[in-house]
Amino acid sequence: MRRFCIHSESVVSDEILLSEEESHHITRVLRLSAGEVLELFDGRGTVYEAEIIDVGSRVRLRICSSRFVEDEGVPLRVCQGVLKGKKMEFLLQKCTELGVSEFVPFVSSRCQLKKTERKRLAGRYERWRKIIDEACKQCGRVRPMQLANVLTFQDMVQQGEDGRRILFWEEEREHTLHSVSLEAVDETLQIVLGPEGGFSRVEAGAAAQAGYQVLSLGPRILRAETATVAAVSIIQYTLGNI
């Protein structure tokens, strides 16, 4: 069944009125017609099964049934050093699919961004938000991954003091992800991964001083986007979130 994201205020009595963007996709791209049944989610946990009753400029649907889905599992917050080009879009998509609760982009000393790219970061937010919504449709999530504003490294390090925090650093030699236990974690877990250039020794030291466990993923040097997907996959499996 095809899935679409809605705003909760679009629900009027037993009917739902879709946005112009979603309506255009339904009528012009998918060419769906009256009588088709769709699944809709409002991003807050409510899922609707609804039948198309009108395919005008804004598609109107009649609600057939609804259900509320509770949050499950240990929340995982991923803090990611901003990557070049479309690598961030790739990570937003994959982290959504893997069930990450919140994604926090940040700029650190070794982010390989040109000055013009840094200035455009705020303008990419809507594009990133749309990628998350599209990934939710595909993977069956009912609550989109939260997307924080772009932070500095210093501001990011102060986040997540209410839970367990891990920073992955490729130069860590003694402690790896294999050497720690995550089975007993029941509060928010925050993990931090760097940009293409990794973290400086000063940044790793600042994180350790702020209470982070500094770990490596192992002996291999992975691309930044590979490291994030690998870490999230391993942790989500360990936490029982996959």
Tell me: pLDDT of 72 over 80: no
Q: Which residue has the higher pLDDT, 162 or 174?
A: 174
Tell me: pLDDT of 179 over 90: no
Closest by CA to 63, choosing from 22, 26, 17, 27, is 17
Q: Write down the residue that tokens 């449709």 correspond to.
A: 137
pLDDT (0 to 100) of residue 93 = 98
Q: Provide the 8-state DSSP code for 240.
A: T
Q: Write down the residue that tokens 């979603």 correspond to.
A: 22
For the beta carbon of residue 179, count every other beta carbon within 10 angstroms: 10
Tell me: pLDDT of 30 over 80: yes
Residues 6+ apart with CB under 8 A from 61: 15, 16, 17, 18, 38, 40, 50, 51, 52, 53
**Do the Cβ atoms of 202 and 212 come closer than 8 Å?**
no
Evaluate if pTM is beyond 0.85: yes
All domains of the chain in start order, with CATH: 3-68 (2.40.240.20), 76-239 (3.40.1280.10)
**Do the Cβ atoms of 137 and 5 come closer than 8 Å?**
yes
Rounded mean pLDDT, 188-195: 95
Percent of the chain whose pLDDT exceeds 70: 96
Mean confidence (pLDDT) of the chain: 90
Tell me: pLDDT of 9 over 70: no
Tell me: pLDDT of 216 over 90: yes
Rounded mean pLDDT, 46-59: 91
pLDDT (0 to 100) of residue 49 = 95
Residues 6+ apart with CB under 8 A from 114: none
| Cα dihedral 112/114/119/121 (nearest 10) | -40
pLDDT (0 to 100) of residue 173 = 87
pLDDT (0 to 100) of residue 118 = 67
> What letters, b where the CB count within 10 A reaches 16 and e where it falls short, cover 65-93?
eeeeeeeeebbbbbbbbbbeeebbbebbb
The string of pLDDT tens digits covering residues 97-141 is 999 999 999 999 988 776 666 677 778 888 999 999 999 989 989
**Do the Cβ atoms of 17 and 48 come closer than 8 Å?**
no
